Structure 1
Amino acid sequence: MALSPRLEVRQAQSLTLTPQLMQSIRLLQLSHLELNGFVEAELLRNPLLEREDGADGEPAEPVERPAETGAVEDTVTHGERIQSAEAIAEGYDTAVENVFPDARTDAGSGLARGLGFGAEGEAPDLDQFVATRPLLSDHLTDQVNLILKTAPDRMIARHLIDNLDEAGYLAASLEGIAEQLGAEIEDVEAVLLAIQGCDPVGVFARNLAECLAIQLRERDRLDPVMAKLLANLELLASHDVPALLRAIGCDREDLADMIGELKSLDPKPGRAFDSGPVEAVVPDVFVRPAPAGGWQVELNSDVLPRVLVNREYYATVAARTRDGAGKAFLADCLQTANWLTKSLDQRAQTILKVAIEIVRQQDGFLTHGIAHLKPMTLKMVAEAIDMHESTVSRVTSNKYVMTPRGLFEMKYFFTTAIASSDGMGEHSAEAVRHRIRQLIDAEPAGDVLSDDTIAEILKREQGIDVARRTVAKYREGMNIPSSVIRRRQKKGLERIA
């Protein structure tokens, strides 16, 4: 059979992801902050969109003030009733400075102006009086300008400040800074030594031992024995008390006093200053006990952007538009506005649908606590609500649920299953982690539980069939040291005490 090119027409069905469909999918995984930013950009770009401010979209009618003012009156509205400083001082037959020392005496300045009100009787901006925490770099720059006298030294100090991390430690080497600035290493070391006493004490340190040494030197407590303790911090971290006593050359009582003094120091002095804006976590869904039993699930309307399509404005502008480019722009704006309002409503309904199913499957956790957290996967929720797993994954990303047991990310409720030894049920991995932490917290100093022992206890008490390797993995994930280190720590604390 000879091969030859030819044309054929075939009919087939396929799923095509349009740009708007892809955008709708992307809206599902946005947090409420990212979603509000996207909606704000659309409001600026699309003239047919407007924000729904009230429940009915109409502004509230102004409330008429009564003619008579009570004891507590509106200072802004009745600011003109306040007498001037000169009039009040004249009534007391004295000078203005004796009555209002801080008041201005130039023409037209009255008591209202001295209180912070403008000439028009406007209220002062309260944001001007809110105390703000300074940045660490600004706080150190002010001190460096007073300590150092020459411009080259100040330039080196400024470069050292720029290389501090959030904890106040110097993140760059002195050799690298000297090479970058073209300065001598001795000059950089001299500047560093001069500014290491800045507030907060401990900044500009290159490691933990130096940070603690700077603070002890400020307290005049950096004696040779304390210096030896700082040089052997790794022994202190491992609670190897016998080796620590041999290295330092002191008794247990002195060691306990020095450790107590180290605990009073700040290992991260730079954390006391703002390093950037801190965003509070706002829940997307509220779960409350229902009056008739069960749970009431509702969306947080405060974080849901509500927009409307102004069709009256569209009709007015469309009737006056004659050119094709203008009509095409209006048609695109109307289509985008309709798509956005529909997508926002669909996104809210999808979040609510997924949240209701999570609450239904995790009723035991909400009622009795983490020990009753059931194993749940994305597939289980997707099949229950007739959605795809990827949709559930996007919906639960960056979303938070406020429950009677606290604020949780939606992803928290999805845990793997651990088989039961009797084959009658499964246990949630998060519940197993919680039980492991409980067993380790309750263990006595003389009977520290090994991973094998914990696995045996879980199997004997709760029928959880878990291997020693799994216990070790969960323990390491919770930053809990091994039984050998825990035994050494507990015995070390007993010896020091």
Structure 2
Amino acid sequence: MKSSAGLVQSQRQSLVLTPQLIESIRLLQLAHTELRQFVEQEVEKNPLLELTSNTSESDGNTSPSARENPSQADGPIRAEGSDRLRQQKSTRDTPTGTPGEDLSPEKFVPNPETLHEHIAGQIALTAFNPQERVIAGALASHLNDTGYLQVDLLGLAAILNAPMNVVERVLATLQLFDPPGVFARTLAECLEIQLRQQDRFDPAMAALIANLEMIADGDFKGLRRRCEVDEDDFVDMLHELRALDPKPGNRFQSGGPESIVPDVWVLPSPAGGWNVELDPDTLPRLLINQDYFVEVLRLTAQNPKDQAFLNECLDNANWLVRSLDQRAKTILKVSAEIVRQQDAFLRLGVAHLRPLNLRAVADAIDMHESTVSRVTSNKYMLTPRGVFELKYFFTVAIGSCQHGDAHSAEAVRHQIKAIIAAEDAALSDEDIAARLRQNGIDLARRTVMKYREAMNIPSSVQRRRQKRGWL
């Protein structure tokens, strides 16, 4: 059989990811702060775009995404617009001062002093010579937020061209600063500094500090022998150790107050069920200046290159407005389905959180699973139970030993915490698993241990020691 080359025409369909489609997908997973930054950059590049304030918009100009109702009209959940929410917020935030004045609560809260500001004030009041003051400032710059010094003294001395003994002398002075324990390089040194300031660093306490790993291992008998004290003195020493602060810098705030602005509000409906609303403060409002477009188009009628640029700006502006509108609709649609699925949690609490995965939500609203995953990233929902990340509502299912409905992992963790909090004596992981089986939850002992450790709850042995006052 003789082979030959030829041209053959065929048709096939394939999804081509254009740059704009890729950008639209990326917009879905942006948090509202990142989205606003992106929109502001686009406004700077595109002369046809204008970014307006959400608080000044009229009802007639409300974005369609805020009025869209993705759920069924006769369902228990209604995804409403943000008009009523905006009215509630405007009533709550009605200013009593001059128009335009910022009367947000953060304005009246004094910024807390940070650790570095506290240290800088003490350095300014200490009688250092010029060289020592430079060394003190350099050491303070290597102080982390917990109060520990993270720098190689020998390398710092070489950089500053200062004698090592001078650097060590300055460090010894800084270690006398408030809070006690600051400028330590290790946990043992931090505790030693605090004990020295309390005049409690005797040989027995020095032996205790030098063998902190024996406390972590639970070898109290061996540690008491090394300290050469009787049991009563040893217990008193452990109580003194517990009273010390292993992270002295944590009492200071590293920056200004931070708050989470939820993207979605879930409010009880007067008719029953829930109203799911988008927070207008998280939705950038863009307008296309059509008058400016017409005017510039008239002025550039004889210049094809300028007209091409102007038409490109108009296409990009229309795409961005459509993408933002579609993003808002998608967030609202996904949030409404999550609320429908987790109705029991909203009414009764975390013990009734249902197991839920991305596929269940995607199938219910006819979307792709990856789209739901992007929508739930970096988004928060305000509910009567508090503010939760949308990812919080997705938990794995744990089987029931009574042939009933499966339990969510978060609800099981909540039950484990409740059992341990109510225990008379420290229950072992096997005992907790048996209690859970009585409640219809089929969970192995190893899984109980994994969940307990993830919640930073000590083991039964450690809890018994804590009750006896040993730790």
Q: Determine if the TM-score, normalized by the shorter chain, exceeds 0.5.
A: yes
Q: In the aligned structure 1, how far is the partner of 2:252 from the partner of 2:287?
A: 43
**Which residue of the other structure, out of 245, 256, 266, is the alignment partner of 1:266?**
245
2:41 equivalent in structure 1: 41
1:286-308 CA distances to partner (integer Å, 9 max, x unpaired)? 11211111111111112211111
Indicate which of 443, 448, 458 corresponds to 2:436: 458
Secondary structure at the aligned position of 2:398 is classed as: strand
Alignment of 1:120-139 (within 5 A): 131-139=110-118
**Greater alpha carbon shift after TM alignment, 468-477 vs 151-160:** 151-160
Alpha-carbon shift at residue 48 of structure 1 (Å): 1.1
Matches within 5 A, 1:97-496: 131-144=110-123, 146-147=125-126, 149-181=128-160, 183-236=162-215, 242-250=221-229, 254=233, 258-321=237-300, 322-445=302-425, 448-459=426-437, 461-490=438-467, 492-493=468-469
| 3-state secondary structure, aligned to 2:178 | coil
User: Are the counterparts in 2 of residues 238 and 489 from structure 1 also a CA contact under 8 Å?
Assistant: no
Task: Report % sequence identity.
Answer: 55
AA partner of residue 166 (structure 1): D
Distance 2:421 2:223 in 1: 26
TM-score relative to the length of structure 1: 0.78
Residue type matched to 1:56 in 2?
S
Instruction: Tell me how far 1:389 sits from its aligned partner.
Output: 0.5
Unaligned runs of 5+ in 1: 59-73, 77-126
Deviation at 1:462, TM superposition (A): 2.3
Q: What amino acid sits opposite 2:372 in the alignment?
A: V
Closer, same or farther: CA 274–433 of 1 in aligned 2, 3 Å: closer
Q: Which amino acid aligns with 1:391?
A: T
TM-score, length-scaled by structure 2? 0.82
**AA aligned opposite 2:262:** P
Q: What displacement does 1:131 show?
A: 4.8
Q: What count of residue pairs does the alignment treat as equivalent?
A: 427
Q: Displacement of 1:257 after TM fit?
A: 5.1
CA positional deviation for 1:263: 4.7
For residues 467-488 of structure 1, the C-alpha deviation after alignment (integer angstroms, 9 at most, x for no partner) is: 2222222122112233333333
CA contact (8 A) 2:265 2:279 kept: yes
Contact kept in structure 2, 1:284 and 1:400, CA below 8 Å = yes
Once superposed, what is the RMSD of the aligned Cα atoms?
Answer: 3.0
- Cα gap change, 1:323 to 1:358, in 2 (>3 Å): same
* Shift of residue 466, structure 1, vs aligned partner: 1.8
Q: Check the 8 A contact 1:239/1:488 in 2, yes or no.
A: no
Q: Which stretch shifts more, 231-240 or 343-352?
A: 231-240
Give 5+ residue unaligned stretches, structure 2. 61-95, 99-105
Higher mean Cα deviation, 149-158 or 386-395?
Answer: 149-158
Comparing 176-185 and 327-336, the one that deviates more: 176-185
Distance 1:130 1:296 in 2: 33
Determine if contact 1:420/1:426 at 8 Å carries over to the other structure: yes
CA contact (8 A) 2:111 2:256 kept: no
Letter in 1 for 2:136: A
**1:120 counterpart residue number:** none
Q: Give the letter aligned to residue 165 of structure 2.
A: E
> How many Å separate the matches in 1 of 2:3 and 2:198?
93
Q: Residue in 1 aligned with 2:58?
A: 56
Q: Give the drift of 1:357.
A: 0.4
Q: 1:318 to 1:358 in 2, by over 3 A?
A: same
Once the two structures are TM-superposed, the CA of residue 30 in structure 1 deviates from its matched residue by 0.6
CA distance in 2, matches of 1:415, 1:260: 40
Tell me the CA shift for residue 282 of structure 1.
0.9
Relative contact order (C-alpha < 8 Å, sep 6+): which is higher?
2
AA in 2 matched with 1:311: Q
CA 1:134/1:5 → structure 2, altered by over 3 Å: closer, same or farther? Answer: farther
Q: How many angstroms apart in 1 are the aligned matches of 2:404 and 2:128?
A: 78
Deviation (angstroms), 1:2 = 4.4
Q: How far apart are the structure 1 equivalents of 2:107 and 2:433?
A: 60
Question: Would you say the 8 A contact 2:112–2:256 is kept in 1?
Answer: no
